[in-house]
Structure 1
């Protein structure tokens, strides 16, 4: 079956055929995959399948608007090799390659050859110009720029690695094409631009042409990988040895300074933790540096190198592991743990901290691993397998809960997002009513203004018109926006207006700078040849009234076309978009939030905590922004106020003193230590703290605490029973070290963290209110990752914001981008009842009224029994209920109700009143 066309055809040999570009959305690999064909039974079902499920209509993912169906593997490799700077073809070869693109029936206009004498030669880049626009009748003008993987930051178009891809009016001017241009996951690539600027048909025909060309070209050209591709040369071996020796020496130095006790501690870590963090850093760097050496030393014809550069498969790390060094093996995010007493394996000395003893593999897969290295490598591999097995069940259940909670949310004709029973969850979807599948740019904005501007400048030349002054530009822009607001339903969102005005502002600044740089003042223009200079400046940075008009027309019409349609089952899409990346996450990842010792739960466990609305989370952290953030001393003072300090930490001694007259406990404070830590503690404040301690309070009925001087206190026990005196003194002395004399009791510790030039405080623990109220902390900017606590401290709106930012942070830590509108919807659903409802059987019970829906989720018998006992009714409005009852659901295409007009005919009924039939 040709997936790109909508017709299922029986082909010779194999019945189902599959274009490689379409593997990604089907998650298909060719290791024995099977497929089922479902045949729609009615015209209505056929139409829906065609319009809603046709591949052409699903080139983009609604998760974040990235293109999903695009070139992969061989297609990328051949495109990369064809567009090399030194690839030339004569007329015969070029014409043959042009005929490879189609079925030989298409009309193709050959471009002008690049080299005319002594023989006509065309470049591989010109082949791509033909591929995008085969003949002059085709009105496809592509204008965009992309930075490829091998782009070096020296200068744009003159990139020495040819990594700057520039299409102007469908001509490829520079750049070697790879994954960034042709692959999926990029919103600024070739197919994305074709789809946005033209239509799905333009994108799919181009993909088909590329698929045919690549498959045929690589078949003739040949591309294979063998053992000689991973054989390191003499120079590479020498460099690798040098890198590894450097790393080992650095580790030895660290271990030496640790043993001598003069290792510089990292914030919030003890010596052992600091040593681990430092050594791990050094060893991980070895793998990166050897990877860099490989990329530089290998021949450009090396197959793994080509695949890695163009992005078709593999990475520099894979190449490095095959050729140079496998690197550090990790178990549970740390170096290999001890399996025997004080050592990982019996082959190593006790308490050895050297790289080899803790799982560093210095060999490559080419040279082969030693027995101990192999064992550590299998430890790492086993963890990966267990992780995958556990994760599948976890994320599967999580996705199911998300779907069940969000399934009945859809967009209505008044732009609101409502549940099946009509409860409003959002007044305007995502605050702007835009469709996530149609968003552009990294941050999910409706339009990529920079690219549209480039396109308008290229397709609409300035000619003789003069460029507008900045004041004229802003006047025209504001008039256009005002007209657009009045004309179309709802106009534009404020965010879009602001982005458009800001964009024009930067363009005008560039124009003014150019003008002054070229000294284009009036006097100079009069004396020189005015036409040339004005044209130069206008063409580079200025904009004519015609260009501006075209640009604004495109912006407003495009903006309107990106609105989300009513009926869209946005809940199900949102649940999918959050659940699906969960399957790609590693289960237990701990991320160092700028501080080596401070772990933050991430990955699947963190997402689960967020959507469960967990009251207790595993790593609660409050980020306190300081009022005086440039001074480390003030940060230490605030830290002293926040961090819990016990009497045992600040007391020099606690002695039981017995004389003939009385027995007492004398506490001596370590005032030097207290001053060094900037703690405001005196004997008087300690007395108050002791009296407030719950255990001592009950024992202290008759006790008296005397303050002898600034640093000394004496505690006298009660005189009630002399026989219990010794016991009482020792009990008291055991309890005293735990008395909290400073700080917030619920805070475990606080770590000073430096971000750029600013210091802030990472507080491990709870009680956000107390941290916000601490002198020196800027309460308005203090954040916590504990959603329930944020709700109790700052209210439900803050909790909603917290849910959004926490999901976003977790996803970003794993390198995943999800449109913020999905997270907003989830956060709104969890908070729209006025409390934070987790997506669990208890939360969903409070969100949903329908008995059948709850019964289809969990505890089926209980729900049905209670409903029948209490005589509850179900209106059958939601998705689950409609499926159970076999009724069309009121969502998506079912939101429409078609009414038939009946002609009213009057018939006389034997002189009685007329009856309307």
Structure 2
């Protein structure tokens, strides 16, 4: 008797039923499925799983993670303002920073549930596969993350709160884009997916199994499906139900012969023994206007060779068309939240030194975030040695990976050492124009910068830098000297605050007596004077105003405009 002493989630439940069907047939496995159903209902009733707001526990480390992400983004913005990185690099860095923060927070949510409350209702439902998924739980207790605008562009301002904490007004408006997109897509794409199924059936309805063996020697080579170095689908899983096109020989032993159906045991054996195998396929079948039994393989509905007369074309059309509706609904359920691939990052566990292993070959590159780094050309090891006592750590880096620490560098805790690329990245170039403006007035000097003149068809001349360099602005105060001013300093002289730079001469066209007050900026020149002999000064009042009058012996009278000093 076989016992499974482990947690049974949705995926393991599928494997359990498949194992029962494969080993004991349809009748026995239907009894197993019934018993599992009763068991599930009994314990679901007993558990009484429900959700209250207390079940939505936000990880306590969230605040710190957001703070470190914001610090990184402020540093990026400062680099952008200084002209060190382009607009595209700034945008890419911001998107990647928030995306990786969102992923780290999701992992922290899982860790928090597992360590503090493994019987939490939300955790049990999401991780058993009964209701909801990790994307939805992340929005409930992590952060909603990056959203897309109506044009499909990612907004570089993420939603940092979750539904448990509540959204701000701005975050609510940004959220509404994704929600509306979900509703509209559901309405529009359902019809498209149905029409796709109809067209697929129309072209494939004549493909029917009409022969047992077409006798072809053509075949397809099947290997494990990989994404870079990561195996997505193992070779054994891809072979189940297919037919071998040629013998599989390991050493002196033939473990599989031509035209043999591959069951679970043989698939596992081949998967462990060889890297690739040749199998028969409907694509290489030579049967006229149909497919033969050997080229098709098992009918996955029964787990046995397909029957003659089976309409395999229509089954294929329905199989491709059916997920179309599911994919349409996916946007609706996640509410337009952006989820992107995060490259595997290697961070320093603690303070220490980084060494490159032998054979590791690199070249200098500028990353998509505008940072200087090293790209691995020949695979090798990255060795981290702690500052104090402790064990060394060795990390394998594949070609295409990016190293942020040079050989022999001292690193701090949590410092990024490398980014291991999961797949062969296709290089996409995007040209962006960014204005670098100065807030200083002055004279421009180029350092290591060669400007080249280019004239387009319209006759417009532009100056383009052939290679990178520095633009210096010689800044300072500009003094405009008045006409006739004479400089008292020489060219290239060093001056301090308060130094006299120039002197100006005021020339009077008239002669006279100079009079000026020390605190005044005005100079009076008295050009003429009169000496009054035998004159007397008297004060007279007129209409309430007093004034001084000078009477001379000759009978002349002068009104005094200025008062005499006493």
TM-score, normalised via structure 2 length = 0.47
Q: Which has the higher helix share?
A: 1
Question: Between Structure 1 and Structure 2, which shows a larger proportion of strand residues?
Answer: 2
Larger radius of gyration: 2
> TM-score if structure 1 supplies the norm length?
0.30
